Structure 1
Amino acid sequence: MNDFARHLCSRLPTARIDLTTRAAYTSDASIYRAMPAAVFEPRDTTEVVTAVRIAAEHGVAVTCRGGGTSVAGNAVGTGLVLDFSRHMNRIIELDPDGATATVEPGVVLGALRQHAATHGLTVGPDPSTYSRCTVGGMVGNHACGPHSVAWGTTADITDRLELLLADGRVLSATRGGSGDANIDLRLRQLRDRYLAALRTELGRFTRQVSGYNLDALLPEKGFHVARSLVGSEGTCAVVLGARLRLTRVPPARVLLVLGFPDVYAAAECAPMLAKAGALTVEGLDAPLVEALRSRPGRAPGLELLPSGRAWLYCEVQGANDAAAVSDARRLARQAGVPGRVTTDPGQIAALWAIRRNGAGTATRMADGRAAWPGWEDSAVPPKRLASYLRDLHFLMDEHGCNGTITGHFGEGCLHVRIDWDLESKHGMASYRNFIAAAGELVVAHGGCASGEHGDGRARSELLARTYSPELLGAFAAFKNIWDPAGVLNPGIIVNPVPFDADIRPGPGRDRLELPLVQRLHADSDSLARAVQRCSGVGSCRDASGTMCPSYQATKDEVHSTRGRARVLSEMLRGETLPDGWRSKQVRDALDLCLACQACKSECSVNVDMATYKAEFLHHHYRFRLRPRAHYTLGWLPVLARIASVAPRMLNWLTSRPTPSRWLSVVAGLEPRRPLISLPPQTFRRWFARRTRSRASAPESGTVVLWPDTFSNFLDPAGAQAATQVLEALGYRVALPDGPVCCGLTWYSTGQLKVAREVLARSVRSLEGHLRAGRTIIGVEPSCTQALRETAAQLLPDSAAVRSLPNQVRTLAEVVAGHQGPWPFGRLNGSAVLQPHCHQEAGHGHRPETDVLARLGVAVDVVRTGCCGMAGNFGYEPGHWEVSRAAAERGLFPTLRAASPGTAVLANGFSCRTQIGQSGVRDIRRAEHLAQLLLRALPSGSSGAHNGS
């Protein structure tokens, strides 16, 4: 293997054989694990040909990978992994008249659908992972999705495939042939030899995906060689490109959601709805909804579900909205159960998110137990679905299992996640017995183990229980025609590896389980269990979301939440990354994590990489010298306090190029970042010196303003304005006794014990106010969120900390919820709002937009997440490019597009700093919401003050 790696890297220098990258590719969205020998992200066909030829010469297996969302272990291997998603992702041609698209294999389905939509077209198959799965992956595992009930599967829309064989030949397969006369002859001979088996055992129902799609070779189906390779999972050829047939989008579509007393009633009704013309007939059961309700944070859409214990989602088309609504109501009457018809785009998106995120949500039951995708995609003829479901539940009861169910009920296909014990030998034996029995059960109902997503490692062994020896012989002969050396994705479909081999969460997986500084409440204080949350469905790769700004900038799997989770998992496993907390590979994987916390809320299972990073950095640098930036930025509260004694001296140094560069070098900071300047006085000094204008008996009571490090020492304008705004609302404003800090800068640099000590001392200064029931108002969103949530991880036994989530509020929340007189006038302007990423991971920015609407301010919200500065991240060396790229995703373009005079609102100090250093001309200085509210007060209503 070393000879292979050396040969590969000598010919293709961008090939990656480092442990960090290989660890990130050990798994997909399945329960399987395999450490690859090398990973290569080809830029063009020539590089693919070279890589495959080198692998074939050395007898190294080749596994193709797109978005890595395969649930059956299709996209993991011990040899060379080809990742097409990073570079080979072009839409080569979209023909609106012919309704076809020609694409490279790494094109993300969501991007193709978005491009096609401009011509009134779409891609029929649309799996729930459409925002990150690739066309090559769809071809490989025969993806289907909700609309396949009406618009067909990937095989149905595949017109042509560009192929690379392991021997280096490049072919173009389509209807009528492969482009190679010898291969076509052998394929026809195979078809004719096994004609009876192909006609009687295959093509019995639409979701019969198990095995090779050999019925596409039948004469009545046009000897469609390209379609025979759909679902071959890269075992026969490498897909270099595809031409797909597109679907015309109906003029109008509405969503009908039906509620049923149980999942069996939903399954009984589903075939009728499919035959009646519904574009989708998607099912989900109560355990999935209960699991979603148990998640922290917001879960929009649940309140829209009609009453019931199971639901069907039926998209209904029409010539216009009225016609579609009328037809949807007709279907609801036929179903005879409670239903909701909606045309509202927001409601439709929220409802579909419940179903779409099911694959991730279902990996944790409502009580926190892990559930796994080992029996994920079984399918039966739709009329047998209800009886199959009853028997499947009976089988689960027999084995002491529980699970969640979603699926394409209109086509008889189920997605099931089950809470097997995959971590002990006894549990693994039970798992094998269950899968073997389930394989027999689904066949008894006329079905198969794979209704989409291929057979992979999870189901290939079950083909012997599904088909006759004759048909299995046809599969082996088909594989041999294309890949006689067995180089391409071995162990899948033909000569399968056992389905209980190479299980990622298997027995003895975690050898490193040391006491943690933080309390991981939801994961039994186990980092291994926390990391295992990552199901691999890849929502962190969704370009439309806010997760993983560094991945969105680099498109490197290592920099995704999933990639980092896999690397951490390998560290805890202690096999391939044996250095434990000292692991350089893990440090490198976590280095570009901005700790924006988006994964904490957007990930369907709430992976919290910011927390894991802080814990790792603490142990990694324990009793060791840290990077200088950790001392400079981590101890910023102390340094800022010292510098505030003589702010003019510091500002003189930082405003001059040579001293500024020298200070950056000494401090270990990014030299391209301008150093910040200090205000002439701190917020606390301003607060102490000003003349209070409010009476001693305030109308609205006393509130406590939290004078965080940033608002006190670095930019006090927001805290000053907040004080005056609160007084205008009738509150008496108090400050905590003595200096306070939430410890965030120490926390984000992994100095957890210092962070805990600082936080504990600061919380003690609030105890009297907390006992009095006073509201604590945060000015800086990151500090506010730290008090609300992070504090409980560092000080879990503190009664005061337990009360913080109920008593800490943002200024916007207080203003939006104020019940007294409204003292603000209308501003009738416009504003750009950059929400703080930590606030978005918590309670969101809705209070801000509510306040702005009441002020008459039209707001353009930057929805791409983190600004890219992310506290200390943007000032650390090596982060400049990613920091700027993150801002270019949405923040900087929004600023450039803003009209002159538009207010720029950013409650976070880091966000305001990034905006100030953006280089965007003719924009106003970013300010805190409090400053905008202060301008909305009538003259004099904020009270006289000194020193503001």
Structure 2
Amino acid sequence: MAGEVRFDTASRAMWSADASNYRRIPIGVVRPRDTADAEAAIAVCREHGVPVLPRGAGTSIAGQAVNTAVVLDYAKHCNRILEIDPDARTARVEPGVVCDQLRDAARPYGLTFGPDPSTHNRCTLGGMIGNNACGSHSVAWGKTVDNVHALDVLTYRGERLLLGPGGTLPRGADPLHISTQSHSDAESIPDALRQLGERLGDDVRAAFPELTRRVSGYNLDQLLPENGFDLAKALVGTEGTCVTVLGATMRLVESPPARALAVLGFPDAYTAADNVMVVREHNPLTIEGMDAGLIAALRAHNPNETTSRALPEGGGWLYVETGGATREEAEAAAHAVVKAMKPYGQTGSVVVSDPVRMRALWRVREDGAGILTRSPDGGEAWPGWEDAAVPPERFGAYLREFDQVLARHGRRGVYYGHFGDGCLHVRIDFDLLTREGIANFRSFMEDAADAVVKYGGSLSGEHGDGQARAELLPRMYPKEIISGFEEFKAIWDPDDAMNPGCLVRPKRMDEDLRIFVGMPRLSGKPELAFAHDRGDFGRAARRCLGVGRCVTGSGGVMCPSYRATGEEMHSTRGRARLLFEMANGEVITDGWKSPEVAEALDLCLSCKGCKRDCPVGVDMAAYKTEFLAQRYKNRPRPLTHYSMGALPRWLRLVARVPGLPRALNAAARRPRLAAVAKRLGGIAPERAIPPLAERPLRASRRSFGETGTRGRVVLWLDTFTGHFDPVIAGDAVAVLTALGYRVELPAGEVCCGLTWFSTGQLGAARRVLRRTLDTLRPWLRESVPVVALEPSCAAALRADLPELLPDEPDAKALAGAVRTFAEVLAPHAAELTELADRAGPPATGRRALVQTHCHQHADLGNEADRTVLGALRVDAEVLDSGCCGLAGNFGFEKGHYEVSMACAERVLLPAVRAADPDVAVLADGFSCRTQLRQAGTREPVHLAQLAADALGLR
């Protein structure tokens, strides 16, 4: 076949889990390029009697996307939209098309694809068909099954069928079909299914609940004549247990041109749930719900976030989205909902129609699944009983009884979900580490299933049954229906080779639990404190739950190497899986010496984007540091660890020799000498060596601004500012003294140790930091703020320093004393505006493109920067460009140049090239400025330079 065939250890490890509690090592992974590849792969598996598991993005939460089988992964290659027919309102797609990809393609026609799970920017349509996925707009547009028109499918025995209403469709009905010789018994499948529907019709009508969110079990109701004997819809939600989907024709719906969001506050989630039927009368697009616990978890996860402050007062909330032909019409519909809900216990409301503010509020809800998996003290919560649904008119009563079930089993959970459809999402603090805890898990699941059935509900309302709930199906359906499920699968898959053990004759829900069977076996104490994971590297390595935010194509910072290569190994999720398996030792057996883990981490930029953007706070930069520290303990290191890893030391030595910086700059301009230097230092030959400042900034004066009416600050003279861009420090001093600060400089050298930290040289990093603490101790004793101009230094001192020296009080004091330049200026916004107005506008006006440093994004935030730019009357566009690609030493290391530049070319460099000549490019990070300079765009500036210019101080 033309596609990828991967039976290597790393691939088997990375595809061993989905977003559920379960783990099973696959036989291998196949990534077809087209339908011919899929047919060839299944033919080989059939020849050898090997089971097959079709899979999309791997974000399934019930465990249906893991098995001891050959995984057919359609996400990478089979992702073409073949046709959109706006008149018929249909789209023909391959199974690897991402949900948002289809929605974006349909938007110019005023259409959209209705189902939109919270994973809409990475989940595939093949996976949505497999799970019968729904999403927040199901009250308006239903589940995936309601939006499927036809399916092109392949059985394990090689039968190729085109399915739709009435059974099979003519071969020429859909050009998805690639000419192939179908087996002669293919036509017997519809006949057998028709007979099954006729025989079980009355049982199905009696046993299937009248429920918009019934996802559990097979869709035997689609075999009934009143439902059109629709075999395409009958296969939706079969979780890869019957066929593999090669193509689909999906239904599109009209998308309102404008939307508004009404957020309604209630005293608690019960009251919100009690009143969803009133909201439904207004025919909104969405009725979502959240509990106060989710907001508490969000704020604990990200103390710098501000979006939740926009929520109205309350302990439970409903998100109600409305649509209209105009923004005013959508807003009016939202206000009508607010007015209608006032008599029903509403504690407050807010209506938003600005798309940016709406997206920010929606992200609070969409990140719920990940946020709730960890408490601030490192406590863990898990899926399992994840998405049951009941009739929405009974939702409030069910929610109260569900809380009683939790209490009876000593468990806690936080709610969110699709309240308008009676569907509840919850992550629960199950103990999956001990046999006693697992017994409690099983007992809880059985009682929870009985409770949802009591209220006429479905065990699954969105994510499918999988291994998590299939064992419980006999509690929901009578034995006649369970037998019908078995016969339905046998008609499609008589060899029981498609995802066996899922749905029919299921595996036990308390087997293959990823946490229990994958307990870490690494010995020894970690080098870092891992304070958020109770000092346990194994606990940190299992933080990733596989929700897949890192395998998206745009938005945010993570994961730049994945976006450059498209390889699972270079995603945060892929790396986390490899580290988990390394800690376990079953598949990856070399521990810290593992070549698979080393290869995966080699292209990790240590940008820390995952630390902020990953809903569960995976910090791959820290894990890479730990890995490097352990791997090279008492062993020779790569050249770059000695050259760039110790760069501050070399630069200090150079600065002590008069004239040496100038001589080195001259040598760097001579190609042969530069090539030798780069080869000796492990530097990429494509890179230029940045020129040193010929007069490095040294603390010749100890203070500036003698009066200090605003108080004292100590300026952190970092390596990069002092030795490469000293003009920035001068401008910073000018601005701070103009605001009335007394700026003081430490007498000795200070360093945050970042270059040693990022290369895993933690002993050296600790020594450097202890010397720094000795130097700064007089200021720390007097609580003088420490102003850092380089974002990576500020982030290292706030976040990495406590991980390296967790028991040293001065380390905590320095972490608390560090301020960014913007954080010092932001409280004086009014004065800055007055000074800027007095200085007068420059002739060309003030506009700027802002490249936020990755470490600032992760550890510091940029609210203060936005405030300062506004105060200086700078019209600033903050780029959603992700990492610049240089990332400290990463982009300079040999072998990384292409990935480094691919990261920059995604958004940053095209945006800079397209900007008008008078637009300043603001980049506070030395790495970002160097990448821009070496890309040959324009000279970037630091906020200190922009502020000095705006205030007339230059």
Structure-1-length-normalised TM-score:
0.94
C-alpha contact (below 8 Å) 1:20/1:588 kept by paired residues: no
Aligned residue in 2 for 1:302? 308
SS at match of 1:313: strand
Q: CA deviation at 1:308?
A: 2.3
Aligned partner of 1:329 among 326, 338, 350: 338
SS at match of 1:506: helix
Q: Partner of 1:621 in structure 2?
A: 632
Match of 1:671 among 685, 691, 700: 685
Within the candidate set 591, 596, 604, 2:615 is matched to 604
* 1:531 maps to which of 538, 541, 553: 541
Q: Does 1:756 align with 2:766?
A: yes
Identify if the C-alpha distance between structure 1 residues 103 and 383 changes in structure 2 by more than 3 Å, giving closer, same or farther. Answer: same
| Match in the other structure for 2:182 | none
Deviation at 1:841, TM superposition (A): 0.9
Give the conservation status (yes or no) of the 8 Å contact 1:140–1:231: yes
Q: CA deviation at 1:653?
A: 2.1
1: CA distance, partners of 2:261 / 2:451 = 34
Identity %: 49
Match of 2:700 in 1: 688
Q: Secondary structure of the equivalent of 1:118?
A: helix
Q: Partner residue of 2:939?
A: 925
CA–CA separation in structure 2 for the residues paired with 1:672 and 1:322: 54
Deviations 1:24-43 (A, max 9, x none): 11111100001112112222
Partner of 2:263: 257
Structure 2 distance, partners of 1:651, 1:365, is 51
1:167 to partner: Cα distance = 2.1
Q: Determine the C-alpha separation between the residues in 1 that align with 2:279 and 2:459.
A: 24
Question: CA offsets per residue over residues 64-95 of structure 1, 9 Å max, x none?
Answer: 22121100011112221122111211221122
1:275 and 1:588, CA in 2 relative to 1: closer, same or farther beyond 3 A?
Answer: same
Q: Work out whether residues 156 and 498 of structure 2, in 8 Å CA contact, stay in contact via their aligned partners in 1.
A: yes
Among 87, 105, 110, which residue is 2:100 paired with?
Answer: 110
In 2 relative to 1, CA 378–555 (structure 1 residues): closer, same or farther, beyond 3 Å? same
- 3-state DSSP of counterpart to 2:149: strand
Q: Which residue of 2 aligns with 1:547?
A: 558
Q: Distance in 1 between matches of 2:2 and 2:258?
A: 50
Equivalent residue of 1:173, what SS?
strand
Q: 2:519 aligns with which of 500, 509, 532?
A: 509
Is the CA contact (8 Å cut-off) linking 2:684 and 2:897 kept in structure 1? yes
Asked if structure 2 preserves the Cα contact closer than 8 Å seen for 1:728 and 1:823, the reply is: no
Structure-2 residue corresponding to 1:441: 451
Give the whole-Å Cα distance in 2 for the aligned partners of 1:838 and 1:233.
Answer: 40
Amino acid at match of 1:202: F
How far residue 103 of structure 1 moved from its aligned partner, in angstroms, is 1.3
Partner of 1:240: 246
Measure the CA separation in 2 of the matches of 1:230 and 1:49. Answer: 20
Q: Report the equivalent of 1:722.
A: 732
The within-5 A match list for 1:133-172 is 133-172=123-162
Indicate the residue corresponding to 1:813 in structure 2: 823
5+ residue gaps, structure 1, are: 1-10, 943-948
Q: Which moved more, 1:508-517 or 1:403-412?
A: 508-517
Give the Cα separation in 2 of the matches to 1:27 and 1:50.
Answer: 25
1:534-561 deviation digits (Å, cap 9, x = unpaired) = 2221112232232111111122122111
User: Could you list the per-position Cα deviations for residues 295-334 of structure 1 after superposition, in whole angstroms to 9, with x for gaps in the alignment?
Assistant: 2333333222222222221112345135324422333235
Partner residue, 1:4? none
For 1:369, which of 368, 373, 379 is the aligned residue? 379
Alignment partner for residue 896 of structure 2, among 860, 865, 879? 879
Counterparts in 2 of 1:408 and 1:123: CA distance versus 1, 3 Å: same
> Which residue is equivalent to 1:8?
none
| 1:871-922 per-position Cα deviation (integer Å, ceiling 9, x unaligned) | 01101122122111111121111011111232222111111111111144xx
Describe the superposition over 1:107-144 as per-residue Cα deviations: whole angstroms up to 9, x where unpaired: 11122222222222111111111111111111000001
Q: Which residue of 2 is the match for residue 570 of structure 1? A: 581
What is the SS of the residue equivalent to 1:578? coil
State the shift of 1:647 in Å. 1.4
Aligned counterparts, 1:782-861, within 5 A: 782-818=792-828, 823-824=835-836, 825=839, 826-827=841-842, 828-861=845-878
Distance in 2 (alpha carbons) for counterparts of 1:854 and 1:860: 15
Q: What's the CA shift for 1:245? A: 1.0
Letter in 1 for 2:941: E
Do 2:705 and 2:740's aligned partners in 1 also have CA atoms closer than 8 Å? no
Distance of 2:286 and 2:707 partners within structure 1:
62
**CA deviation after TM superposition for structure 1 residue 189, in Å:** 1.2
Question: 135-144 or 354-363: which moved more?
Answer: 354-363
1:576, distance to aligned residue in structure 2 (A): 1.3
Q: Compute the displacement of 1:508 (Å).
A: 6.6
Are positions 1:640 and 2:651 aligned together? yes
Seen in structure 2, the aligned counterparts of structure 1 residues 350 and 331 have a Cα distance that, compared at 3 Å, is: farther
* 2:172 counterpart residue number: none
Aligned residue identity for 2:196:
L
Letter of the 1:559 partner, please give it. H
Amino acid at match of 1:192: E
Q: Contact 2:3/2:30 (CA < 8 Å) preserved in 1?
A: no
| Conserved? CA contact 1:233–1:454, under 8 Å | yes
Instruction: Identify which range, 369-378 or 639-648, moves more after superposition.
Output: 639-648
Residue 221 of structure 2 corresponds to residue 215 of structure 1: yes
Q: Secondary structure at the match of 1:341?
A: strand
CA 1:397–1:410: 2 relative to 1, 3 Å: same
Task: Go from structure 1 to structure 2 and tell me whether the alpha carbon gap of 1:624 and 1:367 turns closer, same or farther (over 3 Å shift).
Answer: closer
The correspondence for 1:41, drawn from 22, 31, 55, is 31
For the residues of structure 2 that align with 1:66 and 1:709, how far apart are their CA atoms? 46
Cα pair 1:270 1:410 within 8 Å, conserved = yes
Q: Identify which range, 658-667 or 134-143, moves more after superposition.
A: 658-667
Deviations 1:837-894 (A, max 9, x none): 1011123223333333333332232212210000011011221221111111211110
Which residue does the alignment assign to 2:442? 432
User: In structure 2, which of residues 74, 78, 82 is the aligned counterpart of residue 84 of structure 1?
Assistant: 74
Partner of 2:604: 593
Q: 4+ runs of 1 displaced by more than 4 Å?
A: 819-822
Q: Describe the SS at the equivalent of 1:681.
A: coil
Cα separation, partners in 2 of 1:902 and 1:723, compared to 1, 3 Å: same
Q: Is the 8 A contact 1:12 1:51 kept in 2?
A: no
Q: Where does residue 173 of structure 2 map in the other structure?
A: none
1:513–1:526 CA contact under 8 A, matched in 2: no
Between the aligned partners of 2:334 and 2:877, the Cα distance in structure 1 is: 32
Paired residues of 1:235 and 1:488 also in contact (CA < 8 A): yes
CA distance in 2, matches of 1:677, 1:318: 57
Query: Match for 2:262: what amino acid?
Result: L
* Residue in 1 that maps onto 2:57: 67
Q: Is the 8 A contact 1:833 1:905 kept in 2?
A: yes
Higher mean C-alpha deviation, range 563-572 or range 503-512: 503-512
Residue aligning to 1:6 = none
Structure 1 position 587, deviation (Å): 1.3
Aligned to 1:343: 353
Encode CA deviations 1:681-734: one digit per residue, 9 max, x unaligned.
Answer: 1111xx5279x8x66333333321111111122332222222222233333322
Q: Which residue of 2 aligns with 1:188?
A: 194
1:558 aligns with 2:576: no
The count of aligned residue pairs is 923
Is residue 285 from structure 1 mapped to residue 295 from structure 2 by the alignment? no
Deviation at 1:933, TM superposition (A): 2.3
